[in-house]
Homo-oligomer: A and B are copies of this chain.
Amino acid sequence: MEQAISFTEENYLKTIYSLARQDKGKIANLSIAEKLHINPATVTEMLKKLNEKNLIDYNRIDGAALTPQGEALALKVIRKHRLWETFLVNRLSFTWDEVHEIAEQLEHIQSDKLIRQLDKLLGFPKFDPHGDPIPDKNGQLPQSQTFPLVSVEEPGTMVKLVGVANHTTAFLQYLDKIKLSLNDKIEVKEIHEFDHSMGIRIANRTAIMISSEVARNLLVSNQ
């Protein structure tokens, strides 16, 4: 019984998935409502419906949690989103701050062959233009141990930028302005106790200052 799933339902599943990844605790209806810019009352109705369809387990006490089928669907939508973002940047000359909105539309296109062929065209990429991991066709996420730059304690540490935790146009354009791109080497020169701002050197260029807020949103890996 192949039950149809709507754009709206897919967006709920994706939201629940990402809230579960970051918050680790109970998923509040209110946080779903805020993320989707809708009313909490609407969320309650939809969660009941998704529960009925066995895509989530839901009750007032424990909140919402994806079932295996729900998680598989969420990962499929995320896979499509990130593959399309990669396509837009790598093949259609989009910049990384322009692609999210369009991918929000493209992620709902239904065609298994389309995803498969797109993946192949792009050379089976493991990460999207923001450094986010792309689930493979079985929903498996590539491993990568990243941490926010702000957590670096030792001046002199060398790291590599592998992702961003903030996808807003404002932040991405700021990174463009300071000429910081994915895979750039970053050397932490100094850490100011006072506001935890940092002096960093990008790709051996002149050192610059960044706020702790910026450092919090830069995901890096060792080496």
Contact = CB atoms under 8 A, between A and B. Distances in A.
Contacts of A143: none
Interface residues of A, number: 18
B111 A92 contact: no
B114 A109 contact: no
Nearest to A93: B117
A111 B102 contact: yes
Contact of A114 (B102, B113, B117, B118): B102
A205 interface: no
A92 B105 contact: no
A124 interface: no
Interface in A155-207: none
A92 B118 contact: yes
A91 interface: yes
B102 A117 contact: no
A208 B106 CA distance: 44
A110 interface: yes
The oligomer's copy count stands at 2
Contact of A102 (B88, B101, B109): B109
Contacts of A98: 113
A124 to B, nearest CB: 14
B105 A117 contact: no
B109 A94 contact: no
Nearest to A117: B92
B88 A121 contact: no
Contacts of A111: 101-102, 105
A92 B92 CA distance: 15
B106 A92 contact: no
15 contacts: A88-B114, A91-B121, A92-B114, A92-B117, A92-B118, A92-B121, A93-B117, A94-B113, A94-B117, A98-B113, A101-B111, A102-B109, A102-B111, A105-B110, A106-B109
